[in-house]
Chains A and B, each alone.
Chain A
Amino acid sequence: MELLPSGTWDKLRDWGVKVRKEQQELRLKEIPQRIDTMPLHYQHLAIEAFDQGLITEGRFADFLCVDRLEARRIAEALREHSSGIIEESTDFDLRKIQNEEK
């Protein structure tokens, strides 16, 4: 974005600036972790693998590029979303559609 001169990050790092500490001292709110970069289908596959005990919680968090706490929040949301899909599909009666077409 060219908001800072090039090399600024390297200089800050060389000076030993601790980002989290500075954030706390300046009372800056943490930037929310982004998971919307992952396709929803990918996220559903990850939660399915986690719920079936195929992967650990840590690995699930790694797949979504978030920490464990955020992973738990996402897992809850995905499970709710999945149960919504299942309920909708339960109501969906293919035979009824076929009869209506006739």
Chain B
Amino acid sequence: MQITHSHLLLDACCILNFCASGNLLSILKSIPAEVVVTTIVQEHELQTLQRLDDEDNEGANQFEAAITQGLLKVVDFVSVEEEESFVNYAAILDDGESATCAIAVHRNWVIATDDKKAISFLKKEAPQIQVLLTIEIIKYWSDKEGLDSSTLRDALSEIRIKGRYLPPKNHPLREWWETSSNNV
């Protein structure tokens, strides 16, 4: 995985998956770029993260800790052009995706999302924007940290069960995901 720009904007679906893994902080530390999230996504998704783990609110706690520790920066619109793009994109995408795409397009930042609609929209409207998927970031994290097979298996299992996420069937890393998930 190569990140071609200075910043990586995380979309809501990826945040949910990383928090579900129970390793948000470690994943963020491994990413070789400044990792950011939009104010809209932060405000919207905090409640969803609180539902990830009823017992100790682990999902929301990880998210808040990442912000407090400066591993995840929160950004908002800084120009009228970004706000205009947000309004225009919101007619096609949802609010979180629109804010993420608007900021990424104007600042030429990388986006991390798994959303089919957002990915096809970006390919059409801003093909220069690099898009990364959950599976690519998890693979990178695993390689960089040199995770042992049981730690990786547990993280993938949590993403599957708590986050209810599976990577696309046709993704080249899907086989790696399945093998790593079944490693005993």
Q: Which residues of A contact B (CB under 8 A)?
A: 20, 24, 29-30, 52-59, 62, 67-70, 72-73, 75-76
B165 touches A72 (CB 8 A): yes
A56 touches B94 (CB 8 A): yes
A73 touches B164 (CB 8 A): yes
By secondary structure, the A interface counts as helix
Q: Give every chain A residue within 8 A of B163 (Cβ-Cβ).
A: 69, 72
Q: Give every chain A residue within 8 A of B115 (Cβ-Cβ).
A: 56-58
By secondary structure, the B interface counts as helix
Q: Give every chain B residue within 8 A of A67 (Cβ-Cβ).
A: 47-48, 51
A53 touches B51 (CB 8 A): no
What's the Cα separation between A83 and B44 when bound, in Å?
32
Further 18 A-B residue pairs, CB within 8 A, beyond A57-B13, A68-B48, A69-B51: A20-B47, A29-B54, A30-B54, A53-B116, A53-B117, A55-B117, A56-B94, A56-B115, A57-B12, A57-B115, A59-B117, A68-B13, A68-B16, A68-B45, A69-B164, A70-B51, A72-B163, A72-B164
